[in-house]
Structure 1
Amino acid sequence: MAESNAPDQSPAASYGLSIETEPMEAKLAKALPSGEGWQYEPKWDGFRCIAFKNGSSVDLRAKSGKPLGRYFPEMVALLAELPAPDFVIDGELVIEVAGNLSFDALQMRLHPAESRIRKLSRETPSRLIAFDMLVDTDGTQILERNLVYRRARLEYFRDMIHADPMQFAISPATRNLREAETWLSGSGGDTDGVVCKRIDEPYRSGERAMTKVKRLRTADCVVGGFRYESDSKMVGSLLLGLYNDHGQLDHVGFTSSIADTEKPDLTARLEALREGPGFTGKAPGGPSRWTTDRSSDWEPLRRELVVEVQFDQITGRRFRHGTKLLRWRPDKKPSQCDFWQIGL
């Protein structure tokens, strides 16, 4: 089924909403809020998605407002076939590979070739994990209702459609702080922390009206290479590596949190250690979420330097985001920096 994005045919327009309707967002906090009136949910490692349906027309929109339906035709087809003619749902698109959620598999969907997308949609189908409802099954806007009401309507929706939980599911939720703390301590794989919502609040589109808390961990990594700053001969980022089970150093991420005052001395130190290959396993420049025109432009180093970095998420045996440099570890052997220390 083809989706329609024309303004006068959009499912969103049928509800007086815009297809660019912004999702409610969260501000980062260091600890879970406590006290009465909080609902806690896992923060899923996927693509945020608002799903609009009106009759036979379905529209999937990313957090940015851009259309997602082209890249997830199996989800468009699934929602079109559900026995509910109207709804708008806020959730997360995820893909499971080998028993774990894979952000890389989601990234692979953003491909220009429709034939490639169709092939992937059959091989690695997506799932929608819903956590809020903006328009009810009768077409009534419920954004101004509180979370307790919206959550009850979402649960009713799930029970009504009898959807396969491997295709459509509702995110777990709790009001128990200890249970939420358990979710937080176990995050870093399929989940990226915990999201906290006020149960008496309406849905505040485009506002940071929720709270998110991430589990921050540390790892000792070998500095296998570095990149210069753009248009500069000063170091811009350190390329990080961990040893795999075969004794090869795999590129796992980077850190660019280097103080400007430290860059001249550090650049000289790194340049004195330039020597290939740097990484003996997976090297920078291969397919990854960081790939840019400059991805292959890096300087390999002798494997002598070790740094401790702080990270929040691991996807596909790589740090999902840039890391924070905490300290140098001259007391640590490079060979001690392996995947085992981060549970892989």
Structure 2
Amino acid sequence: MQLPIHPPVKPMLAKPVPEIPPGQIYEPKWDGFRSIIFRDGDEVEIGSRNEKPMTRYFPEVVAAVLANFPERAVIDGEIIVADTGRNTLDFEALQQRIHPAASRVALLAEQTPASFVAFDLLALGDEDLTELPFAQRRDRLVQALSQAKPPVYVTPATDDVTTAQRWFEEFEGAGLDGLIAKPRDITYLPDKRVMFKIKHKRTADCVVAGYRVHKSAENRIGSLLLGLYDEREVLVSVGVIGSFPLTVREELFQELQPLVTEFEGHPWNWAAHQQGERTPRKNEVSRWNNGKDLSFIPLRPERVVEVRYDYMEGLRFRHTAQFERWRTDREPRTCTYEQLERPVRFDLAEVLTSR
């Protein structure tokens, strides 16, 4: 490729803040794979946050880039997959797109096609635009993709705080992850946290029904497995807590030993696993790290913990939950989905087509 910027490039990042800062340019925070895409004529490379190319996994995105991008350009954005039935983002389906088999990649490209949402322009033709203020890069991006058609989009943006607050409240119903606030005058700084992200934060009381040991020692807790009871009074696996100081990991291990039990009679007994129910599985492994064993030690579901989370994806927490406090005053059976705040459904198409 003969571009003014060459792959790989680490994307510019955002740091979390509790409130929407004033005087910025605001965009929806998309829940997908961050990607910088390079096009030079017939050549396309899809970069990733870890600098490894994702080009082979998204042939339909490559085709869309060739059909919609300028002849030579470098554009920062997000690869997303939409659940067309619910008209919302589907991160779980997006994760499935990373597959080693070419035949599977081709099939998934048809079954769960991805889109690309652009939000920054790093280079155009022979111009390196990274030293321009973001406001100017944004204007150039809108102009460069003014004729683009789905599945290539330009993210909505506003400098009005009231509009940004409305987006923060409404767009979650389409599966989005909050807001990004960008100073108007920032240059593009790869791998630097110079933008701001505002995410939804909520709490829930969950049942602790198992744990995984820490990679450093067998007597330390790696993560606690969390559950909520559904309308059938089935304990559903909803996520994990995984961040503890080392001393706390050892203390928790000792505290939880009296609750260790057998899988017989446990709500997440894989031998009695019913198809369609979300439970941790025997010898489950991470799709991102094939050597990582995700099997767990079952506990009697008698302890309740309050956790912080940002939002749900289907029946589970989208991200790892954070420990808030133990709830010795709560009965496990009262920890149900009914306590969760449900965002009002919002049409993803309205977000994608809004400017």
TM-score, length-scaled by structure 1: 0.86
Report the alpha carbon displacement of residue 287 of structure 1 after superposing the two structures with TM: 7.0
- Which AA in structure 2 matches 1:79? V
Deviations 1:301-329 (A, max 9, x none): 22211110011243342223322111111
What SS class does the counterpart of residue 272 from structure 1 fall into?
helix
User: Which residue in 1 is equivalent to 2:118?
Assistant: 130
For 1:236 and 1:139, locate their aligned partners in 2 and report how far apart those are by CA, in whole Å: 49
For 2:316 and 2:174, locate their aligned partners in 1 and report how far apart those are by CA, in whole Å: 11
What SS class does the counterpart of residue 41 from structure 1 fall into?
strand
User: Which residue in 2 is equivalent to 1:323?
Assistant: 321
For 1:54 and 1:111, locate their aligned partners in 2 and report how far apart those are by CA, in whole Å: 26
2:188 counterpart of 1:200: no
Q: Structure 1 residues 302, 202: CA separation in 2 closer, same or farther (over 3 Å shift)? A: same
Report the alpha carbon displacement of residue 168 of structure 1 after superposing the two structures with TM: 1.2
2:261 counterpart of 1:272: no
Q: Choose which of 50, 59, 67 in structure 2 pairs with 1:73.
A: 59
- Unaligned 5+ segments in structure 1 are 1-9
Q: Counterparts of 1:133-148 in structure 2 under 5 Å?
A: 133-136=121-124, 138-148=125-135
2:196 counterpart of 1:211: yes
Report the alpha carbon displacement of residue 334 of structure 1 after superposing the two structures with TM: 1.6
Q: Structure 1 residues 302, 170: CA separation in 2 closer, same or farther (over 3 Å shift)? A: same
For 1:222 and 1:295, locate their aligned partners in 2 and report how far apart those are by CA, in whole Å: 22
2:247 counterpart of 1:249: no
For 2:174 and 2:214, locate their aligned partners in 1 and report how far apart those are by CA, in whole Å: 31
Asked whether the 8 Å contact 1:217–1:311 carries over to 2, the reply is: yes
Report the alpha carbon displacement of residue 39 of structure 1 after superposing the two structures with TM: 0.4
Asked whether the 8 Å contact 1:92–1:130 carries over to 2, the reply is: yes
User: Which residue in 2 is equivalent to 1:16?
Assistant: 4
Report the alpha carbon displacement of residue 289 of structure 1 after superposing the two structures with TM: 6.0
For 1:124 and 1:256, locate their aligned partners in 2 and report how far apart those are by CA, in whole Å: 30
Percent sequence identity is: 37
Q: Structure 1 residues 171, 287: CA separation in 2 closer, same or farther (over 3 Å shift)? A: farther
User: Which residue in 1 is equivalent to 2:302?
Assistant: 304
Report the alpha carbon displacement of residue 74 of structure 1 after superposing the two structures with TM: 0.4
For 1:240 and 1:290, locate their aligned partners in 2 and report how far apart those are by CA, in whole Å: 21
User: Which residue in 1 is equivalent to 2:348?
Assistant: none
- Which AA in structure 1 matches 2:241? T
Q: Structure 1 residues 326, 160: CA separation in 2 closer, same or farther (over 3 Å shift)? A: same
Report the alpha carbon displacement of residue 106 of structure 1 after superposing the two structures with TM: 1.5
For 2:46 and 2:245, locate their aligned partners in 1 and report how far apart those are by CA, in whole Å: 42
Q: Structure 1 residues 291, 219: CA separation in 2 closer, same or farther (over 3 Å shift)? A: farther
Q: Structure 1 residues 296, 159: CA separation in 2 closer, same or farther (over 3 Å shift)? A: closer
2:91 counterpart of 1:103: yes
For 1:119 and 1:217, locate their aligned partners in 2 and report how far apart those are by CA, in whole Å: 37
Q: Counterparts of 1:152-231 in structure 2 under 5 Å?
A: 152-161=139-148, 163-164=149-150, 167-186=151-170, 187=172, 190-230=175-215, 231=217
**Aligned residue-pair number:** 326
Report the alpha carbon displacement of residue 124 of structure 1 after superposing the two structures with TM: 0.8
For 2:48 and 2:252, locate their aligned partners in 1 and report how far apart those are by CA, in whole Å: 40
Asked whether the 8 Å contact 1:238–1:254 carries over to 2, the reply is: yes
Computed over aligned residues only, the root mean square deviation of the Cα atoms, in angstroms, reads: 2.4
What SS class does the counterpart of residue 156 from structure 1 fall into?
helix
Asked whether the 8 Å contact 2:4–2:127 carries over to 1, the reply is: no
Q: Choose which of 335, 338, 344 in structure 1 pairs with 2:336.
A: 338
Q: Structure 1 residues 265, 84: CA separation in 2 closer, same or farther (over 3 Å shift)? A: closer
Asked whether the 8 Å contact 1:284–1:295 carries over to 2, the reply is: no
User: Which residue in 2 is equivalent to 1:3?
Assistant: none
Q: Structure 1 residues 310, 291: CA separation in 2 closer, same or farther (over 3 Å shift)? A: farther
User: Which residue in 1 is equivalent to 2:280?
Assistant: 284
For 1:215 and 1:41, locate their aligned partners in 2 and report how far apart those are by CA, in whole Å: 15
For 2:66 and 2:35, locate their aligned partners in 1 and report how far apart those are by CA, in whole Å: 16
